[in-house]
Amino acid sequence: MRLAVFGAALVFSCAASGQDVAKEIQRYRQMVAEGSPAELFELEGEALWKKAQGPKNGSFERCDLGEGPGVLKGAYAHLPRYFKDADRVMDLEARLLYCMSTLQGRSRDDATARVFGSADRPSEFELLSIYVAGQSRGVRIEPGMAHPKEKASYELGRALFFHRVGAWDFSCASCHGEEGKRIRMQELPVLYKPQYARPVMASWPAYRVSTSQVITLQWRMNDCYRQMRTPEPTFGSETTVALIHFLTATARGETYGGPGNKR
Amino acid sequence: MAAGPMKMRANLGSGFTDVRVLMTHPMETGLRKDPDGKIVPQHFIQNLTVKVNGKTVIDAQISQAVSRNPVFSFRLKGGAKGDKIEVSWLDNHGESAAIEAAVA
Amino acid sequence: MRPSALLVALLASAAWADPTPQEVQQIMQRDFHARGQATMDRLAQDAVQRVCTETQNRPPAELTKSLEADQMKTIVFPEGSLLGDWKRGETIAQSGRGLTWNDKPDDPAGGSCYNCHELSPREMSHGTIGPSLRRFGATRGSGAEVQRYVYGKIYNAKAYNLCSQMPRLGASGTLTAAQIKDLVALLLDPASPVNQ
Amino acid sequence: MNPLRRTLVSLLALAIAKPLAALAAWNKEAFSAKTPGDALKGLGIGNAAPSKDLQIEAPEIAENGAVVPIEISSAIAGTSSLIVMIEKNPFPLTARFDFKEGALPFVKLNVKMGETSDVRVLAEAAGKYYTATKEIKVTIGGCGG
């Protein structure tokens, strides 16, 4: 059945107009979002946050996400931001990686051995992300924009967004630069414009029903570059954080409403 | 994936109680292959029971065609705040789990 | 990109002092790693990518002309008819595989055509980044000149429109000459569903 | 075992596993049937009358067959069971819900569909069977996500 479910390009009769198709797909997505099991992963993420592990046998309960050690309320909505202890701008996942090193004593190799998980076994970053992000529901999105390194990160992110590169000459704007465009049936938000970035950034990370997987922004950057036919961006690197920073800053002022649900 | 946590909400609506229950379960069809090309054995919930204050109100039998990490919504007649709702499941491996919540 | 968007982008870049494409390229060289067939040389921008990045896809006319002429020289036209098999072309148009770090280099690639274009009326799940190609051959005929244009456009779209968002499917090594001929047939063959 | 199961889920589970297994009925014959007709036979259903009082709420097009949300309800007096069948699935019978005193004949769930198919719902009320169908088309979405 999996083959049929995941591989087949099924074709419908041309009786339905394009508009009807779009309307019905909208309805599908709404019903899917209403019946999403995303909340289950917040529970698993919470347990992982509190679990002591690594050579230092530490949990994340002392991890400072920018609002003070262990403070979760609103922390996600204020990322990415500059961290003095690391002297760099970090998004949630880069910061979690930092805490795995400092509080749990884990090596980068150990901590990043499996950054993107599967439906059978979500990764630590996925479970932690969905739990931490859930603690920012109802908080306004305000990433750091004051420190010079925060400004530089935002600028780099915007330059990357329009930078054409790779075997197929794409930039992020190739797909997300013009209004009213789709890939297959997927509408493409124009992510450098606030009115499009706001609802999108307010709903990441997310549970993706089609693959039963939790997906994070680091995964989203990674998989976009995969489809842009470039080499792979390193997890939590300045490049990925800068893009996430640019997108989040473009969405600032929006109330965070995630974790979300994707088709 | 082993069966993981469950979650449930039971809310008083107009004339009925809305019950929404989420369960972590792979719901393997037995037709899917893993990345190494090996068939993943069938593993799915077969029975589901909903009880109100200890009395069974819904008995369900389901197949492997229910989606992974199943989510069900049910409606119970009337109801009152504090009514105890219990949902339990049993799968084809004999594993089971249950969750309880009070109507809010 | 529409003029207003360009203006916004230019104004913004003046205010914030954007990193140059060269600086971005250096940072990417540091932050990316090769994986599978996606090797690090793919991060080096060629002249087309650099000019289109620098000018927000609005290169000056003269530069456009000379770069398009350079791109035209990359196109290798096979001898004889350029019309392949539209049925195979439909399969190639449906497939979005090829050149990513998790595609196997020996597996046949696709053209990803339906991701951006409407083609056969039987496939409703099509993108809109590129123009609709419905009845492409029915309205233009399928003569030698049209065949050559379609083959060339698929092989290297940048030879015809420098900052087009369409990949250079032949020049990048994504599709073989035989595959491109099958796509030409999908667009031009009177029997192809595209022309029904 | 996931520690959450010990902490978050009230684990009567192990205690009740055996009695539940003993009590639970799962109609193997009907669930193993490969055609809708054989599934009906397995369920002991002969005739079912079409009914407008049997509602199927579902999108006409599903972007992904792995998760298709379906809401079913019956306005037929005395409805005691609702049955869901996906006619073109390898094993059409998908679920059977038996409602006792205290439950309304309503359920919402997500199902897997291998391809575009009619979804058939049957209701049992006072020993009689009623039926309704809805076609759901299954397609693929964007190239990425």
Q: Are residues C49 and C93 in the same domain?
A: no
Residue where a domain stops, chosen among C62, C97, C113: C62
Above 50 in pLDDT, residue C14?
A: no
What is the rounded distance in angstroms from the CA atom of residue A210 to the CA atom of residue A152? 37
**C contacts of A173 (beta carbons < 8 Å):** 1
Please enumerate, as own/partner, the contacts of A45-52 that have beta carbons within 8 Å and a separation of 24 or more.
A45/A127, A45/A128, A45/A129, A45/A130, A45/A131, A45/A132, A45/A134, A46/A131, A47/D3, A47/D4, A47/D7, A47/D8, A48/A124, A48/A127, A48/A128, A48/A131, A49/A128, A49/A131, A49/A132
- CATH number at B79 reads 2.60.40.10
- CATH number at C116 reads 1.10.760.10
Contact of A100 with A111, CB cutoff 8 Å:
yes
Q: Do chains B and A touch (3 or more CB pairs under 8 A)?
A: yes
Mean pLDDT (whole number) for D75-86: 97
Domain count, chain D: 1
What domain range includes position D120?
34-138
- Report the catalytic residues of A: 224
Q: Could you tell me if residue D11 is inside a domain?
A: no
Q: Could you tell me if residue B1 is inside a domain?
A: no
Domain count, chain C: 2
Tens-place pLDDT, residues A29-69: 888 877 778 888 888 899 999 999 999 999 999 999 999 99
Length of chain D: 145
Contact of A185 with D142, CB cutoff 8 Å:
yes
Contact of A92 with A72, CB cutoff 8 Å:
no
Q: Name the average pLDDT for chain A.
A: 90
Q: Are residues C124 and C55 in the same domain?
A: no
Does residue A240 or residue D25 have the better pLDDT? A240
What pLDDT was estimated at residue A34?
76
SS (H, E, C) C21-61: HHHHHHHHHHHEECECCECHHHHCCCHHHHHHHHCCCCCCH
What is the rounded distance in angstroms from the CA atom of residue A188 to the CA atom of residue C4? 19
Give the CA distances from residue D21 to residues A24, A63, C173, D32, in Å, rounded to whole numbers and listed in that order: 41, 45, 59, 19
- The minimal CB distance from D63 to the residues A12, A16, A263 is found for A263
Question: Chain D closest CA to B52's CA: distance in Å?
Answer: 8
Q: Could you tell me if residue D48 is inside a domain?
A: yes
What is the rounded distance in angstroms from the CA atom of residue C92 to the CA atom of residue C86? 10
Does residue D16 or residue A105 have the better pLDDT? A105
D4 falls in which pLDDT band (50, 70, 90)?
very low
Q: Could you tell me if residue C167 is inside a domain?
A: yes
Tens-place pLDDT, residues A184-220: 988 899 999 999 999 999 999 999 877 888 999 999 9
C4 sits in which H/E element: helix C3-16
Local structure of residue A77 (DSSP, 8 states): G
Question: Chain D closest CA to B98's CA: distance in Å?
Answer: 6
- Work out the number of other CB atoms within 10 angstroms of the CB of residue A66: 19
Does residue A11 or residue B37 have the better pLDDT? B37
Question: Chain A closest CA to B18's CA: distance in Å?
Answer: 13
What pLDDT was estimated at residue D15?
43
Tens-place pLDDT, residues A3-38: 333 333 333 333 345 667 778 888 888 888 777 788
Q: What domains appear along chain A, each with residue ranges and CATH number?
A: 17-262 (1.10.760.10)
What pLDDT was estimated at residue B3?
64
- The verdict on A214 touching D (C-beta cutoff 8 Å) is no
Mean pLDDT (whole number) for C51-76: 97
Q: What's the token pair of residue A113?
A: 């051995």
**Percentage of chain C lying above the pLDDT 90 cut:** 89
Mutate to test the interface with A, among C8, C27, C71, C172 (most CBs of A within 10 A): C27
Closest to A259 in 3D by CA, of A28, A24, A37: A37
Q: Are residues C124 and C176 in the same domain?
A: yes
What pLDDT was estimated at residue A180?
94
Q: What's the token pair of residue B20?
A: 């929404």
Length of chain C: 196
Phi and psi, residue C41, nearest 5°: -60, -20
What is the rounded distance in angstroms from the CA atom of residue A52 to the CA atom of residue C152? 60
Q: Could you tell me if residue D8 is inside a domain?
A: no
Q: Name the average pLDDT for chain C.
A: 92
Above 60 in pLDDT, residue D47?
A: yes
Phi and psi, residue D105, nearest 5°: -75, 80
Q: Could you tell me if residue C92 is inside a domain?
A: yes
What domain range includes position C56?
3-62
- CATH number at D47 reads 2.60.40.2470
In this structure, the dihedral spanned by the alpha carbons of residues B22, B26, B32 and B36, taken in order and rounded to 10 degrees, is 140
What pLDDT was estimated at residue A14?
31
What is the rounded distance in angstroms from the CA atom of residue B5 to the CA atom of residue B27? 15
In chain D, which residue's Cα lies nearest the Cα of A26? D59
- The verdict on D75 touching B (C-beta cutoff 8 Å) is no
Domain count, chain B: 1
Give the CA distances from residue A107 to residues A101, A111, A216, C57, D111, in Å, rounded to whole numbers and listed in that order: 6, 6, 22, 43, 42
